[in-house]
A and B are shown apart, each in its own frame.
Chain A
Amino acid sequence: MAAALAASQAAAAPAPAAPVQPPAEVIPASWAKLVDSEAEIPLRVVQLDGLAVMKIMKHSRDAYPSAVNGILLGLDLDGVMEVSNCFPLPQGREGEEESTARPSASKYQASMLRSLKEVHGDDNVVGFYQSTAMGAFLSQSFLDLQASHQKSLRHGGIALVHDVSRTARGNTSLKAFRLTQAFLQAHKAKKFNVQGLIERGLTFSNILEELPLQIHNTPLLDAFLLTLSQPTVSPTPTTLFPTASLSDLPPTNQPLTPTFPILNTASTPALTHNLSLVLDTLDDYNQESSNYAYHQRQIAREKTRADAYTAKRKEENAQRVRDGLPPLPEEDVSRLFKIPPEPSRFESMLLLGQLDGYAKTLEDVTGASMVKMYAAKAGATAA
């Protein structure tokens, strides 16, 4: 894809120099789709509509602290993935089996898509969204879902991650991702042992690649938002006598008042929660790595036993040859000794990814709150 982009750019560059004879065989990337509807135009940017943003936020917040997901609808046009709508998916209830939860979710999705089509809504699935808290969203189900989307959807689909805890602090956190080729290959081959990881140089940081994200509104929504943020003067009498209290004053009429939640200096509760999450994940990781070590020891033990057996058999055969007897057949060692398969490193890789997510959130929060504290101090001493 990058090669195609480079080619089209290279083709575009000499065009102004020699406008008389443009190379006829080179079609600009934006026209390629008209000529060939299956043409591969690389995805450059994800564009979210206001409605989708608000719907994702509402769903994530209603279900907080449990993580939820839903389907994104829209269209990819000329390298821009336009997400115009979305709908939440029902979450499997406690105790419900995975096997029953999945068909019901897909049935839900089908009937929702049918209904949306009837009222002329977009019904083209382009990806899914996932809510998270404190920045750790990497999980087995997240990656499996995206891997299945990337196989079935045009352009692979995108995964949108919304961090509720950060948005509540006044910093809207939306990120668009898709899986890298390296991870997709590994996922396809189900090779997450050490060898497989080394071959592809796979760590938690290159499982996903981020796509730039921009927010766009429909013109009608733009107009509506602007009327909301415009203060309107109430037509109440203007001859005001000095009033006793504020409640006697005419109400200011501005539905969208700025509140600046980001200027709040108290970030301690969030920090404590985040730190305890870090500790939990560290425990999990520890357990995972001791599991791994146990497996390694198991493998080593079986291997030594197998080696000892082959050595013994060889010795015996040599003895028999010397005694003039026919040698015993060389048996298949792997059938006698079950060498356990090498354990997958997938889980521990994901845990590392989660740890990194938590720590990154911690860094961001503490960085901002240090700035705020020094600012408050400067303000107080200057006053």
Chain B
Amino acid sequence: MSLGRPSQAVFLQPPAATSAPFANRPSPVTSVTVHPIALFSILDHYLRRDEKQDRVIGTLLGSRQDGEVEVKSAFAVLHAETTERVAVDMDYHRTMLELHQRINPREVIVGWYSTGANLNTYSALIQGFYQHETAPHPAIHLSLDTDATDGQLGVKTYLSAPVGVTPKLENCVFTPVPCTLRYTNVEKGGLDLLTNAASSSTHLAHPEREMEELEKAITDVVGMLDRVLTYVQAVLKGERKGDPAIGRYLLDTLSAEGPALGRKGAEALMGSQLQDTIMVSYLASLVRSQVEVSSRLALVT
């Protein structure tokens, strides 16, 4: 699941370090995955920026595994940019890092973020600083386009490589790295809730009870099935030209989901699980009423 518009960029990869002198060098970064919470923190930081500030920067925390960098959280770092100089509050960065690592010692610095789409000399300088922090691993740079220059809030990640005859800190190329969004089951539940809030007219959402959620999920699925069904029937009648891609997707979905739950399967499921479930349900209400009685009895001497 990639973020933002697919780009035509060729993702350049440095050659795999197999030769002897480079054997202990870390494997090159081939992809970046971002958890939604990191992006949300960036957006929050951008909203709380100074009035005159054009962009904000901060540190990305996460983990590395075989060339894949996983960005798990982010925190804001103070910085000041003028036409002639850029300053990053190093003490602040250190303090925050220490505070974060006391909670989650497994998360290390993987790079930095900035808002806005442009990369300039200062980006290179800041990149140089983070490169120093993450050594020997390369630092990644994530840019979140809050100005929505290409019509959406695009997320892009870069690696840097020195360029020029004499290596200087402000001379470097940013090469793009593919970036995807990743979330866990728990986070997905939260994201669904937030999306509900985003798409509702009042911009509010309420956590619902299990039955209501279930009802909503079933209606959603039925709605999707209906849409596919109308499409398929239209194609069969010859009203619309069938798209082979959609056909492939449908075939794949139907066959990938394993054997459908047939009449027999349903009966087996009912036989094995239903009795247990009903029993547990009775037990649960029994426990609850006992607990209620017991707590009332405690009030009677």
Using a CB–CB cutoff of 8 Å, the interface residues on chain A facing chain B are: 47, 50-51, 53-55, 57-62, 85, 88-90, 108, 111-112, 115, 118-121, 164, 166-168, 170-175, 194, 197-198, 201-205, 212-218, 220-229, 232, 234-236, 240-243, 246, 249-251, 253-263, 265, 267-268, 271, 275, 278, 345, 348-349, 352, 355-356, 358-360, 362-373, 375-377, 379-381, 383
Contacts and interface: CB of A to CB of B under 8 A. Distances in A.
Contacts of B173: none
Interface in B255-301: 260-263, 265-267, 269-270, 273-274, 276-278, 280-281, 283-285, 287-288, 291-292, 294-296, 298-301
Nearest to A263: B217
A61 B186 contact: yes
A367 B206 CA distance: 21
A364 B281 CA distance: 9
A104 B190 CA distance: 31
B73 A58 contact: yes
B203 interface: yes
A213 B207 contact: yes
B44 A51 contact: yes
A222 B198 contact: yes
7 contacts: A53-B193, A172-B207, A194-B298, A217-B194, A255-B2, A260-B220, A370-B278
A118 B213 contact: no
A57 B187 contact: yes
Interface in B170-206: 180-181, 184-199, 203-206
B96 interface: yes
A326 B208 CA distance: 79
The 6 A-B pairs with the shortest beta carbon distances in the complex, nearest first, are: A380-B266, A362-B284, A366-B281, A203-B295, A359-B287, A222-B198
B216 to A, nearest CB: 9
Nearest to A373: B274
A315 B146 CA distance: 93
Nearest to A278: B287
Q: Which of A53, A61, A376 has the most CB of B within 10 A?
A: A53
A381 B263 contact: yes
B188 A363 contact: no
Contacts of A61: 184, 186-187
B291 A356 contact: yes
A90 B102 contact: yes
Contacts of A203: 295-296, 298-299
A372 to B, nearest CB: 7
B161 interface: no
Chief secondary structure at chain A's binding surface = helix
Contacts, number: 308
B197 A215 contact: yes
Interface stretch (B121-129, B231-239, B242-250): B242-250
Contacts of A50: 40, 194, 197
Given A221-B194, A254-B1, A259-B188, A197 B266 contact: no
A224 B185 contact: no
A263 B195 CA distance: 19
A226 B288 contact: no
A108 B103 CA distance: 10
Given A172-B189, A349-B295, A216 B197 contact: yes
Contacts of B77: 119
Given A119-B45, A275-B280, A363-B284, A216 B207 contact: no
Interface stretch (B23-31, B46-54, B131-139): B46-54
Contacts of A349: 295, 298
Nearest to B152: A227
A373 B291 contact: no
Given A271-B280, A366-B278, A250 B245 contact: yes
B35 interface: yes
Interface residues of B, number: 104
Contact of A363 (B46, B199, B217, B288): B288
B221 interface: yes
Contact of A213 (B6, B39, B190, B206): B206
Contact of A262 (B213, B285, B301): B213
B43 A355 contact: no
B198 to A, nearest CB: 4
Interface string B1-35: 11101100000000000000000000000000001
B44 A218 contact: yes
B278 A377 contact: no
Contact of B189 (A170, A254, A372): A170
B252 interface: yes
Given A170-B213, A249-B245, A380 B198 contact: no
A364 B209 contact: yes
Contacts of A370: 274, 277-278, 281
A216 B49 contact: no
Contact of B277 (A236, A249, A366): A366
Contacts of B78: 118-119
Given A225-B194, A370-B274, A197 B204 contact: no
A9 B93 CA distance: 50
A115 B92 contact: yes
Given A51-B41, A253-B1, A371-B214, 12 more contacts: A164-B186, A170-B217, A175-B207, A214-B204, A216-B197, A257-B1, A261-B189, A271-B277, A352-B295, A356-B287, A362-B287, A376-B269
A205 B291 CA distance: 10
A204 B291 CA distance: 10
Given A90-B103, A349-B295, A359-B284, A227 B153 contact: yes
Contact of B190 (A121, A167, A258, A275): A167
